[in-house]
C-alpha cells in the first residue's frame, strides 16, 4: 500500500499520520529563555527566530538558538549493501528508506535535529544532524537516491561515523545484519562509548524467514554481496535454516544488549507504524 504512494515524503507522512504519537516531554523551539548561539538561516526555517538586528548589521540571516531548542540529535544509519536489495518489492532497502524518512519526519515534528549516514563497505553518504525543512528535504533526496550495492563492513563504517563526532544523541541503525554478531556488537560499542543511545532495527523479508528452495536434494545459492556460489543440500537447509536463523537473531540481541542498544526485529511485510511506535517508546525513556 505504501509503495503505491510513490513519493518518499508522502510515504513518510502517511506512516506518521496514521500513528498516534506523543512521547515528547521536552521544550519546543524558543520556549527556553536562555540564548545559546546563532546559526545560518536555511530555507524553511521558522522566520520568528531570525535576529533582524543582526541582519541589519551584517546583511545576513541568522537564527537564534536557545537551550532546549533542539532537544535531541537523531542519526539514522542505513545499510545500503547489495543484500538489502534482494527479493521482491518492497525490498529491505525500500523499507529501510521508508522507516528512515518517517523517523526524520517525527524528529522534525518534535523539533529534534536529524542526520543520515548510508554505508556499505565504507561510509557512502553523511549528513550530520540538523533541523529545518531544507535539511529534511536533503535527507529525503539522499534516501531516495540510495541503491543496494557492494558488501558491508560495519566496524569501518561505524568508526567513520564515530570519528566525525557529534554531541550525544540517538543513533538508529537499520539493516538486515548479515554479519557476525561479534562484529555487529563491536560496531555498536564504537558509538555507545560516545554516549549515544542506540536502537537497531533488524529487517528481514518473508522469503528470508521461509526461503522457497527448489525441489530436489541439491540447490545452488549465491551470496548477494560477494558473488560466491555454494551448492547445498536443499533438504538439509530447509530443516536447519529456522534454527540457525533463530540462533543468529539471539546472538544479535545479546550483542546489542552488551553494547547498551535496543534490538528490534522487523519483517518487511509488517506495518511501518509498528516500528515507529517502538522507536517512540525508546525515545520516551530518554531523560
Q: What is the pLDDT of residues 3-32, one digit of tens each?
A: 544 588 888 888 887 764 433 433 333 333
Domain ranges of the chain: 9-21+71-284, 35-66
**Average pLDDT over the chain, rounded to an integer:** 82
For residue 44, the SS3 value is coil
The band of 204, judged by pLDDT with boundaries at 50, 70 and 90, is very high
Per the listing, cell 539514522 goes with: 76
Q: Give 68-121 pLDDT, tens digit per residue.
A: 445 689 999 999 999 999 878 889 999 999 999 999 998 888 888 999 999 998
Q: How much is the average pLDDT of 227-232? A: 79
Most confident of 36-40, 171-175, 208-212, 234-238: 171-175
On whether the CB atoms of residues 204 and 111 are closer than 8 A, the answer is no
Report the pLDDT value the prediction gives residue 4, as an integer from 0 to 100. Answer: 47
- 112 in Cβ contact with 70 (< 8 Å): yes
Q: What is the pLDDT of residue 245?
A: 93
What predicted TM-score, i.e. pTM, was given to this entire model?
A: 0.78
Q: Which residues of 110-138 are buried (b: 16+ CB within 10 A; e: fewer)?
A: bbbbbbbbbbbeebbebbbbbbbeebbee
Domain 9-21+71-284 part of CATH 3.40.50.410: yes
Amino acid at each position: 500500500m505504501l509503495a503505491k504512494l510513490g513519493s518518499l515524503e508522502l510515504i513518510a507522512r502517511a506512516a506518521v499520520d496514521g500513528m498516534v504519537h506523543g512521547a515528547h516531554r521536552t521544550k519546543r523551539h524558543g520556549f527556553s529563555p536562555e540564548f545559546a548561539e546563532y546559526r545560518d538561516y536555511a530555507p524553511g526555517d521558522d522566520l520568528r527566530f531570525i535576529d533582524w538586528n543582526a541582519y541589519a548589521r551584517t546583511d545576513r540571516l541568522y537564527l537564534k538558538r536557545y537551550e532546549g531548542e533542539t532537544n535531541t540529535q537523531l542519526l539514522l544509519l542505513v545499510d545500503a549493501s547489495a543484500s538489502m536489495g534482494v527479493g521482491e518489492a518492497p525490498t529491505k532497502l525500500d523499507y529501510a528508506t521508508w522507516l528512515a524518512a518517517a523517523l526524520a519526519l517525527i524528529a522534525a515534528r518534535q523539533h529534534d535535529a536529524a542526520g543520515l549516514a548510508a554505508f556499505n563497505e565504507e561510509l557512502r553518504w553523511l549528513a550530520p544532524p540538523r533541523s529545518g525543512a531544507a535539511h529534511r528535504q536533503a535527507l529525503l533526496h539522499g534516501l531516495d537516491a540510495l541503491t543496494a550495492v557492494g558488501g558491508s563492513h560495519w566496524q569501518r563504517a561505524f568508526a567513520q561515523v564515530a570519528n566525525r563526532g557529534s554531541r550525544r544523541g540517538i543513533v538508529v541503525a537499520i539493516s538486515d545484519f548479515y554479519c557476525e554478531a561479534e562484529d555487529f556488537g563491536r560496531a555498536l560499542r564504537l558509538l555507545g562509548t560516545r554516549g549515544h543511545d542506540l536502537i537497531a532495527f533488524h529487517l528481514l523479508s518473508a522469503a528470508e524467514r521461509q526461503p522457497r528452495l527448489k525441489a530436489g536434494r541439491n540447490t545452488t545459492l549465491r551470496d548477494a554481496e560477494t558473488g560466491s556460489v555454494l551448492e547445498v543440500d536443499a533438504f538439509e537447509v530447509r530443516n536447519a535454516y529456522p534454527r540457525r536463523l533463530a540462533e543468529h537473531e539471539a546472538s544479535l540481541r545479546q550483542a546489542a544488549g552488551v553494547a547498551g542498544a535496543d534490538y528490534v526485529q522487523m519483517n518487511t511485510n509488517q506495518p511501518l507504524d509498528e516500528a515507529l511506535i517502538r522507536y517512540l517508546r525508546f525515545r520516551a525513556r530518554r531523560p
